[in-house]
Amino acid sequence: MRVKYFAWVRERVGKAEETIEPPATVRTVEELIAWLSGRSEAYAYAFEKPKVIRAAIDHAHVKSDAAIAGAREIAFFPPMTGG
Amino acid sequence: MSCPVTIRIQEDDFDIAREIAVLTKSRTDIGAVVSFSGICRADDDSSKVAALTLEHYPGMAEEEIRRHADEAVSRWPLNGVTVIHRVGRFMPGQNIVLVLTASQHRQAAFQAAEFLMDYLKTSAPFWKKEESATGTGWVEAHARDDEAAARWTKS
């Protein structure tokens, strides 16, 4: 699946997007955050406060317990500050 | 009664008078147009802002605004909605966002414009980065914006 990062999550991870293949045991957004955090210090820093991180699956906001099965694109970003 | 919905995300500036003219052209059923413009301001709480950079999530930003525009159309008797959100780097005084709502009577247009702005602030995927004399940093979300959006879910 494709993963996108925005704002300071993107800056901390060090990239805007990538394709990942998490193991089948990673089933929810929350579990994906934990799995990504274990990849390197950069990811751990980006996701150090997982409750602050917002997620979207295929362009729709989701909660942290949302299932990731079948997702084409998952995005992680801080709370929005547009308008 | 048709209700055209126009949503644009662009780097270019917008012309409010022109957008209102487009929205009301050849229409005789519109009695009210409410216009909200969000402008880059220099004073943000404590520091002087030199510039703001707006980042967005292409694709989702348009879809998220569309979802809320559709909800506004279903909640209020509207005759037209235009939302334009700019992205890029802005200096104080420059336009950032425009919301236009048209209706037969003013109340629907006022309420729908406020509803759209409250949701634009809290759920449309845009992020502001601020440059000031003390450095550069991402703007933090305000709880007051979440509270403003939450009041529309109360019946």
Which tens digit of pLDDT belongs to each residue from A52-80? 999 999 999 999 999 999 999 999 999 99
ipTM of the complex model:
0.95
Query: In the prediction, which pLDDT does B153 show?
Result: 86
Query: In the prediction, which pLDDT does B29 show?
Result: 95
pLDDT tier for residue B14 given thresholds of 50, 70 and 90: very high
Report the run of H or E that residue B106 belongs to, with start and end: helix B106-123
Give the strand pairing for B95-103 and B32-39: antiparallel
Query: In the prediction, which pLDDT does B133 show?
Result: 86
How many Å lie between the alpha carbon of A36 and the closest alpha carbon of chain B? Answer: 20
> Taking phi first (over 0 means left), then psi (-120 to 50 degrees means alpha), and beta for anything else, what does residue B88 get?
left
Question: What would the two tokens of residue A33 be?
Answer: 């955050």
Reported as a single tens digit per residue, the pLDDT across B93-127 is: 999 999 999 999 999 999 999 999 999 999 999 99
- From chain A, the residues in CB contact with B54 under 8 A are 82
Q: Please, which residues 6-35 of chain B have a Cβ atom closer than 8 Å to chain A?
A: none
Q: Regarding the domain with residue range B5-153, which homologous superfamily does it belong to in the CATH classification?
A: Molybdopterin biosynthesis MoaE subunit (3.90.1170.40)
Query: In the prediction, which pLDDT does B4 show?
Result: 94
Residue B70 has pLDDT above 60, yes or no: yes
CB contact under 8 A, B127 and A77: yes
CATH number of A2-77: 3.10.20.30
Query: In the prediction, which pLDDT does B46 show?
Result: 64
